[in-house]
Amino acid sequence: MKKLSMFVVYIFLLSMVGFSAQVGAYDEVSLKKLNALGNCPSCDLSKALLYKANLEGANLTGADLEGADLYKANLEGADLTGANLKEAIMYRANLEGANLEGANLTGAKLTGANLRGANLTGANLEGAELSMAELWEANLERANLTGADLSGANLTGANLTGANLEGADLYKANLEGSDLSGAILCNTTMPDGTIDNSGC
């Protein structure tokens, strides 16, 4: 019985250590600044829990949001220029009109996100999940979409000039009126399910 009790205490302590490590991933001062002012440029918010946070119009230029939980967060009109959003959880987040120029969105989870009119010029979206995302008239000029999942996404009127779509999945995506001038298409799954290798 004593051994069992010790084992339970050991497991509890391990879980607490894990929890502390997760919480300690971001800078507490930065999070308090964001909550108080709604702005936090160049702040360390990696792995921060910002679930359903209202960050409309926030200045988060150059901020580190790697692995942050931004599920259903409101980032409409926010400035995320050069921000690190690698592997951030942004399912169904509102990023309408947001500035994500040069942002790192490698492996970001953006399924069902609203990126209508967002500026993603030169953004790195390699391996990002953008299925069913709203990208109507979004600017994806020179964006890296290598291996990105854009299945079922609405890219009506989107600017994809010079974008890298190598290995990207565009199955059932809406590309009506979009500009693919100079885009790299190699092993790219097109809306009709065919594979385009014209840029290989």
Q: Would you state the pLDDT for residue 25?
A: 66
Q: Would you state the pLDDT for residue 28?
A: 78
Rg (CA), the chain: 19
Q: Would you state the pLDDT for residue 32?
A: 72
Q: Would you state the pLDDT for residue 86?
A: 98
Residue by residue, pLDDT tens for the chain (200 residues) are 434 343 333 333 333 333 333 444 666 777 777 876 778 999 999 999 999 999 999 999 999 999 999 999 999 999 999 999 999 999 999 999 999 999 999 999 999 999 999 999 999 999 999 999 999 999 999 999 999 999 999 999 999 999 999 999 999 999 999 999 999 999 999 999 999 999 99
- CATH architecture of the domain covering 27-200: 3 Solenoid (2.160)
Q: Would you state the pLDDT for residue 17?
A: 32
Where are the domains positioned within the chain? 27-200
CB atoms closer than 10 angstroms to residue 23: 13
Q: Would you state the pLDDT for residue 4?
A: 37
